Structure 1
Amino acid sequence: MPYEWIKPSGPDAPNAELHLWPYRSLLRRDFVVFISATVLLIVVPLLAVIGSPVLWGLLPFFIIAVAGIWYALQRSYKDGEILEELRIWPDRMSLDHIHPRHGTKSWEANPYWVHVKIDRKNERIVNYLTLKGANREVELGRFLSEDERASLHDDLTQRLRDLT
């Protein structure tokens, strides 16, 4: 699961802490293998035109294709650095959504009044998970799969029940 509960220690440490992150299907070492295989597959047809002026006509397109794939994968990695941290104390609860390009967004409420809500019939996002408290509703685990959001809902509801 791309989330884990942490038991922090310290004088002002929360009772429970939850970290959520997006799933990574392509690891860094696999990225190198993928780019190498792509370059190899594009270079093989170019071997037939080595030494002719056609090579210079095709070479820019080869470079643009590899650079485009490289950029798209790097952007995907950057977007995958999203982190959500949910901390629960007896008297307050805070959620920090840390995005590498959009900065940090925070929310805080009293856990006694927080309502964990899941919308199983949402048209766009199945099992849409939100926290409602302090006159505001915030989304939790947008990047998780349907099953992971449902599991997180049950887990978080139980944790809040145990802590309050």
Structure 2
Amino acid sequence: MPYHWENTSDAEQRLRLWPHNSLPPRGAMAVVLAVFLFGLIPLLAVLGSVLLWGLLPFLLLTVAGLWLAFEANYRARSVHEVLTLSDTQAHLVRLAPRAPRQEWQCNRYWARPEIHPVGGPVPNYVTLAGEGRVVEIGAFLSEDERVSLYDDLVKRLRDPTVG
């Protein structure tokens, strides 16, 4: 699960959420290297001719484009959220690249999780409502993970001793 609950003290719990990372950076570099090496195989036939210099830029553009795509993907997935539940407060912080820090806070008693099976930007969209605001949580999780997150939120918001 790309989220983790931890008890920071007897009176406080913290939930950390992050997007799933199926390909670590080392694996991405292996893919880029493999594409480059397999791209060199056809160039062996034209080694020593002027045609090599006509084909080589296309290989280099392909490798550079793949590398830039991986970098953009890693940057976009650097978003994470932290929900802190104390005895009296629920505090959510969302940190995303190229976006200001977003915070939401309300009395824990009035905070209520909601799940929207349809009608949200993603299936099983999970929100927290309280203090007159509704905020999303875990929109980057998979559909099953959002259902599990909703169940955890219901249990932990209603019973502070769970955990």
Name the amino acid aligned to 2:21: R
Say whether 1:92 aligns with 2:89: yes
How many angstroms does 1:123 deviate by?
6.0
TM-superposed deviation, 1:39: 0.5
Answer whether contact 1:35 1:70 (CA < 8 A) is retained.
yes
1:14/1:87 contact within 8 Å kept: no
In structure 2, distance between residues paired with 1:163 and 1:33 = 45
Q: Is 2:83 the counterpart of 1:82?
A: no
The answer on whether the counterparts of 1:96 and 1:107 sit within 8 Å (CA) in structure 2 is yes
Q: Tell me, which stretches of 5 or more residues in structure 2 are unaligned? A: none
Residue 141 of structure 2 corresponds to residue 144 of structure 1: yes
SS at 1:151 equivalent: helix
Aligned length: 161
| Structure 2 residue matching 1:46: 3-state secondary structure | helix
8 Å Cα contact 2:125-2:139 kept in structure 1: yes
Deviation of 1:43 after TM superposition, in Å, equals 0.8
Percent of pairs identical after alignment?
43
Counterpart-to-counterpart distance in 1, 2:13 and 2:139: 21
Residue 27 of structure 1 aligns with which residue?
24
1:135 to 132, 136, 140: 132
Q: Runs of 4+ in structure 1 displaced over 4 angstroms? A: none
CA distance in 2, matches of 1:67, 1:85: 34
Match of 1:43 among 37, 40, 44: 40
8 Å CA contact retained: 2:112, 2:157: no
Aligned in 2, Cα 1:86/1:14: closer, same or farther, shift over 3 Å?
Answer: farther
Deviation at 1:14, TM superposition (A): 5.6
Provide the aligned C-alpha RMSD in A: 1.6
After TM superposition, the structure 1 stretch with the greater mean CA deviation from structure 2, 140-149 or 121-130, is: 121-130
List alignment gaps of at least 5 residues for structure 1: none
Change beyond 3 A, Cα 1:133–1:123: closer
Using the TM superposition, give the Cα deviation of residue 122 of structure 1 relative to its aligned residue in structure 2, in angstroms.
Answer: 2.6
Amino acid of the structure 1 residue aligned with 2:23? L
Contact 2:80 2:95 in 1 (8 A): yes
User: TM-score by structure 1 length?
Assistant: 0.92
> CA offset at residue 112 of structure 1?
0.8
What is the aligned partner in structure 2 of residue 18 from structure 1? Answer: 15
